[in-house]
Amino acid sequence: MRQLALVIAAICCAGMAQAQGEKAGDFDYYVMSLGWSSNWCALTGDDRSDPQCDAGRGLTWTLHGLWPQFESGYPSDCRTVQNDPNRNDSAQMADIMGGAGLAFYEWKKHGRCSGLSAKSYYSTMRKAYKTVVIPPIFAKISKDLHVPASVIEDAFAEANPQIARDQMTVTCTQGMIQELRICLTKDLEPRRCGADTIKDCTLKDAGLEAVR
């Protein structure tokens, strides 16, 4: 019985982590995710021949997404009466997201949960992205580095004194810097992240590939 109880508990906890098909607009705050473009290319984009990874793009921290979040867990693939964005709307997000494909994917998985129209969601993503200063030093990275993950947060904290340490977190994957995530209110003001969102990477030699 004890083993069965543990299995049931695990299933229930997994269900709490991601609620699919929830009502659009029902969430507590946003998580804005910024990804290091060159690392994404090394791990995923190059195999897809993604245009984001073309030499000369000069991309540093691109917008991965703006995710509606519960205080614990998050909704996804919500029911909505809003129409999907057209190709032109998605293409116009490529300057900050690296490509149109990611913009449309983020709309389908997360944007529908915002309760906004596709145009308004894209506009809100752009507005959120503009609230953060990307430290200029990152554009000067011309060779592959290995750095403590904490220096990423340090750099953003210095460039954005309005964002407290408990309002952002750095993630890693496969030994590389993955994302900087910033927690925002529905009005796009910095706020404390939920306990399940704060997952600071503790690597001392995380990979950070050169800007392409």
The answer to whether 77 touches 109, Cβ cutoff 8 Å, is yes
Query: HSE of 6 in the Cβ direction (CA atoms, 13 Å)?
Result: 3
pTM summary value:
0.88
> What are the structure tokens assigned to 144, written together?
């592959």
What single-letter amino acid sits at 30?
Y
Give CA 64 to chain center in angstroms: 4
Residue 193 pLDDT exceeds 70: yes
> What are the structure tokens assigned to 97, written together?
């997201």
Residue 65 pLDDT exceeds 80: yes
Alpha-carbon torsion (19, 21, 23, 29), positive or negative: positive
The pLDDT-based confidence of 23 (bands split at 50, 70, 90) is: confident
| Buried residues in 92-120 as b, exposed as e (16+ CB within 10 A) | bbbebbbbbbbbbebbebbbbbbbbebee
pLDDT, one tens digit per residue, over 136-176 is 999 999 999 999 999 999 999 999 999 999 999 999 999 99
pLDDT score for 199: 84
What single-letter amino acid sits at 37?
S
